[in-house]
Each structure stands twice: as C-alpha cells, then as structure tokens.
Amino acid sequence: MRHSRNALLVATTLVALSTLAQAQQCPSLPPVEVTSARPVPSGDTSPSTGPVLRTAPTVPTPRLIPTKEIAASPALRRITSTGATVYEIGSRTMNHGLQGVYAVNGDVFRVFYLTPDGQALIGGVLWEQNGHNVTRDTVAPIKGAIPTVTITGAKPGATPTGQALPPANTTLSPELAKRVSQASVGFVGQDGPPRLTMVIDPLCPWSIRALGELQPFVTRGVIQLALLPIAINDHENSGASTPAATALLSAVPYEMEAAWQKIIDLHHVADDMPRTADAALHLQANMATANAIGVRGTPTLVWRDKAGVSHVTEGLPRDVEQLVRGLGR
C-alpha cells in the first residue's frame, strides 16, 4: 500500500488562484444535490446501491485509456508501470486544455493532469479562479471517488439530520461550546493561559501554517493551543488524512504536537506510529463535533472572549495579535 501511494505521488498540486486561498483553509467537500444513480467508468458493471451525491454539471463518463494510448505517453507509462489503471476524466475544455487522468491501484487513487506534449503530469486538484473545484466534478461519476450519503429533507446549509449549521465567523451557543470542550484534543503549551482551540486536518497546508504562526504566542506563554484533529482532506491526498488524524489521537494530549511534527516532516504517517481503535472512535466523535459547529474547512478556530462568549472563526485571521488579545479564560 505504501509503495503504491508513493509511486502515484509524482508531482505537485495544480491550484489556480481562488477563494480557497483567500480563506486560508483546506475545504471539506461542498454539499451537492441528491440523485438516485450515477454513471460509472467504462467496464464497471456493478449496480448503483441507492441514493448518492452528484454534482450539478454534466460530465463525460470516464474513459478507460487504452494500452496503445498509454504506450505513446511517457507520463502515462510511468503511472501504469506500478500496476495502476488509468481513466480519462472530464474533457480538455473542462480541464482548461489539459487531459485529466484518474489513476487507481487497488484502493489507492490519484488524479493527474497530463500536459499537451504527453511528457509530464501535474498531480492534484484543479481549481478555477472563482474557487470552483473542477476535479470534483470530473471524478464524481467514478464509484467511490467521492463519499456518498443519503440526505432526507435537508435544506442547503443543513446537516444530514436537517439541523441548520451556524454561519461562519459567529458565536457558539453554550451547548456547542461545551461540546467542543469535551472533544478529544492535544495541548501545545502550559496550562493557565487562555486556550485557543484549532480544528485541524494534519495534512492540510493551511493547518500546518497556522501552527507555525501561533507557536510564538505559545512560546511566550500568552496562549495554550488545543489541537482538535479531524480528517477532511482525504479526497485530495488519497485517503492519507484519516490515518494521520488517528495517529494524533493515539498520542497522549501533551505529545500530540510532537506526533504532528513527525507527520509534517514525512508528509504522511510513519509506519511505526500507533493508530488505536479508541483513536478511531475519538476521530468519529471529533468529526461529529466539527459538523455540529459548522466547520467548512481547516483550520477553524474556537475561542472565548473576555466576556465569556464563545466564537468560531474560519481560517487564521490576518491580525492574529488582535485575536490573541481578545481571548478570555
């Protein structure tokens, strides 16, 4: 499994300037409409298994790339040399002149974009300038590429149970604030200073950057940082976020940061890092808590002001110093 994943990670992510960069968050999968069926790749005759999520745009059915076409492309030959099967996704028009390629090897998959000369591949997610995720549209017809859920009577901006999500950058009710305080977290810094809780995906670049920007305040004893791990970036890193988050939750609270630094250095979970069954349950509970407070991406900050009112803020604000000055115990 490790060999397959490493063999497919051959290039950097292609990301156009978008609202994602402005929000400084790794986004969760956006809500999309429900349908009763969806197309599957050529040669896949397995039946649909009930209501699934699909995106609104109509996209071509993924095409199995034939051997002759693979042989003519050095980049495609490199991917398939490890046993991966490759499909063409979307169209060159949808992909802004590039050929989209979905490579799957067992239960590991990766999306690439083939350059016009067929010599090079760019791995990752294609975002348009307005923040639209093109890759998500083009992989939606592939069974299992996007998590599927059934929603009954839900309104836009609601949870699968129909409960409305609170808007971004708002206050939290005492009940939700208590739920956050009871989540499974790790601590950075000593007890005593005001606590700032940060909801993180361990492999989200913006979560990693936020840790670096908040570290000086921890070092000075101004804040204690509470890390609340979740996994929302699996759809962009071949499922690596879930084991990373589970590894963090397997560490004792005051050693979670060290475990995260190890993951940051390696860009994935080390083989010798424990991932306990209890940690998997804690991750499920953390995901439910994040959903309840309306987390749409990581990092998300949860904090209490000097008046005792709890807040949730998407991303790291530009003026971190001002946020820290406003923290209460």
Per-residue pLDDT of the chain (329 residues; tens, 9 = 90+): 333 333 333 332 333 223 333 347 787 754 433 333 333 344 443 333 333 333 345 788 899 999 999 999 999 998 899 888 999 999 999 999 999 999 888 767 788 899 998 888 887 778 777 667 788 788 878 776 654 333 233 333 433 333 343 444 589 999 999 999 999 999 999 999 999 999 999 999 999 999 999 999 999 999 999 999 999 888 778 788 999 999 999 999 999 999 999 999 998 999 899 999 899 999 999 999 998 998 888 999 999 999 999 999 988 888 899 999 999 98
Looking only at the bridges linking them, the beta strands covering 310-314 and 170-172 are antiparallel
pTM to 2 decimal places:
0.57
> Which residue is it, tokens 């090897």?
105
Asked whether residue 132 falls in the same domain as residue 198, the answer is: no
In a domain, 164, yes or no: no
- Residue 264's domain is classified under what CATH number? 3.40.30.10
Asked whether residue 234 falls in the same domain as residue 134, the answer is: no
Asked whether residue 200 falls in the same domain as residue 317, the answer is: yes
- The angle subtended at Cα 291 by Cα 127 and Cα 299, nearest 5°, is 55
In a domain, 59, yes or no: yes
Asked whether residue 230 falls in the same domain as residue 321, the answer is: yes
User: What is the per-residue pLDDT for 42?
Assistant: 41
Largest CA distance in the chain: 68
User: What is the per-residue pLDDT for 11?
Assistant: 30
In a domain, 146, yes or no: no
For every residue of 65-118, DSSP letters joined together read PPHHHHHT-HHHHHHHTTT-EEEEES-TTTTTTPEEEEEEETTEEEEEEE-TTS
Asked whether residue 181 falls in the same domain as residue 122, the answer is: no
DSSP 17: S
User: What is the per-residue pLDDT for 306?
Assistant: 93
| CB-CB contact of 170 with 311 (8 Å) | yes
Number of neighbours of residue 306 by Cβ within 10 angstroms = 11
| CB-CB contact of 277 with 266 (8 Å) | no
In a domain, 90, yes or no: yes
Q: Which domain holds residue 238?
A: 170-325
User: What is the per-residue pLDDT for 107?
Assistant: 63
Asked whether residue 119 falls in the same domain as residue 180, the answer is: no
Instruction: Output b/e per residue, 17-50; b: 16+ Cβ within 10 A.
Output: ebebeebbbbbbbebbeeeeebbbbeeeeeeeee
- Backbone torsions φ then ψ of 158, nearest 5 degrees: -115, 160
Residue where a domain stops, chosen among 139, 161, 188: 139
C-alpha–C-alpha distance, residues 309 and 162, integer Å: 26
